[in-house]
Amino acid sequence: MKIFGLFLLGGLILGACAGESRRIAGSVERLDPGLDSIIGPDALVEVIAEGFNWSEGPLWVEEEKMLLFSDVPENIVYKWTAKKGLEPYLTPSGYTGSQPRGGETGSNGLLLTRKGKLLLCQHGDRRLAIMNAPLDLPEPGFTPVADNYEGKKFNSPNDAVQRSNGDLFFTDPPYGLEKRANDPAREIPFQGVYKVNGKGQVTLLTDSISRPNGIALTPDEKTLIVANSDPEKAIWYTFDLGSRDSLVNPGILMDVTGEVSQAPGLPDGLKIDSEGTIFASGPGGIWVFGKDRKLLGKIKVEGVASNCALDEKTSTLYITADSLILRVKM
């Protein structure tokens, strides 16, 4: 059965392969002429796959010419290629325990380490972990990178970014716990932003953000941007990295609390390209900021945008939006 250019095979909805027509599920809102040099006037917001519970953590892997992303509640990572469309890639992805449990158990943010390994923010196992198998032959089996702070298990690591020296910065909201902030299994009474170095040493950078979610480093690796997915404080925060990576000079990229009632979505995953352009999921879709941090425009999408990913040449932006996977050719 064909649905919107997708094929249902064995109960799995697969994205159409190259050459198939695709439906449009969004538009580009231009607020500043500077957007024209980033997203062309004819850019389309195309659906390349759909039918997911909650898609997240998109990652473009240039070596394999594939897009990986998490379906968090379903505990699976999918891959999409232009040649074959959609295929299951890895399951389980975030919860490897034998005891059945509810909640958002799968992986969330995905990251390719400097050594070419797949790192997963595993909600169910409440840790950062690296897949042991090579990228082209994925299979279950993980090596933990960080799973606790001062002996207490994390809530549910959500998103991460790696610095050129190998250090990882990551967020730890409660979304992967069955009862979230009220879960009896919760061991840390706050939502932290952390750093873990190459020796596995975990440092708490801040515990003052109510719902830290997406995280990114500027190209010069001097500033950290953290999205706060709190409808009462829907803000992208900025912090300069000071001595021993202390967070100094706190600032606000933008406060969109007033937008939350106008369009679905909250500050969530974000990416920054090599020129410093910021692509940040928020109310209504993806908010695009120039390297001077001026808002240039928005990619408005169906559903709720959760995150985005750029290919190696910054020629294509991929967006996870609830049940959809979207593509915008830049």
Per residue in 290-328, is it b (16+ CB within 10 Å) or e — as a string? beebebbbbbbbbbbbbbbbbbeeeeebbbbbbbbbbbb
Does position 144 have pLDDT exceeding 70, yes or no?
A: yes
- Is 213 annotated to bind ligand? yes
**pLDDT tens digits for range 69-105:** 999 999 999 999 999 999 999 999 999 999 999 999 9
pLDDT tens for each residue of 178-198: 999 999 999 999 999 999 999
- The total number of residues written for the chain in this structure: 330
- If you compute the radius of gyration of the chain from its CA atoms, what whole number of angstroms results? 19
Averaged pLDDT score across all residues of the chain: 94
* Domains of the chain, each with CATH number or no CATH: 2-329 (2.120.10.30)
Residue 215's SS3 state is strand
pLDDT over 50 at 45, yes or no: yes
pLDDT average, residue stretch 122-129: 98
Annotated binding-site residue? 307? no
Please report how many Cα atoms fall inside a 13 Å half-sphere around the Cα of residue 95, on the Cβ side: 21
Give percent helix, percent strand, percent coil of the chain, each to the nearest 5: 5, 45, 50
Token pair of 212, please? 């830290």
CA 215 to the chain's CA centroid: 8
Binned at pLDDT 50, 70 and 90, residue 294 comes out as: very high
Query: What is the predicted pLDDT for the residue at 22?
Result: 83
State yes or no: pLDDT of 166 exceeds 70.
yes
| Residue 56 annotated in ligand binding | yes
pTM here?
0.94
Q: Is there a binding annotation on residue 108?
A: no
Stretch 297-324: mean pLDDT, rounded? 97
Q: Which residues does the annotation mark as catalytic?
A: 268
Q: Which two tokens stand for residue 155?
A: 């809530």
* Dist CA 148 CA 55 (whole Å): 26
Asked if residue 259 has pLDDT above 50, the reply is yes
| Selected residue with higher pLDDT from 252 and 13 | 252
What percent of the chain is modeled with pLDDT above 90? 93
Please say whether the beta carbons of 59 and 312 come within 8 A. Answer: no
Position 18 scores a pLDDT of 45
Instruction: Please give the average per-residue pLDDT across 223-227, as a whole number.
Output: 98
Asked whether the predicted pLDDT for residue 305 surpasses 90, the reply is: yes
Please check the confidence at residue 2 and state whether its pLDDT lies above 60. Answer: no
- Tally of CB atoms within 10 A around 2: 9
Please state the separation of Cα 323 from the chain's center in Å: 15
Q: pLDDT tens digits, residue range 3-42?
A: 223 333 333 334 544 445 689 999 999 999 999 999 999 9
Distance, in Å, from the CA atom of 304 to the CA atom of 285, rounded to the nearest integer, reads 7
Q: Which residue has the tokens 């959500």?
A: 158
pLDDT at 21: 63
Name the nearest CA neighbour of 128 among 154, 105, 163, 99. Answer: 154
| Residue 319 pLDDT > 90 | yes
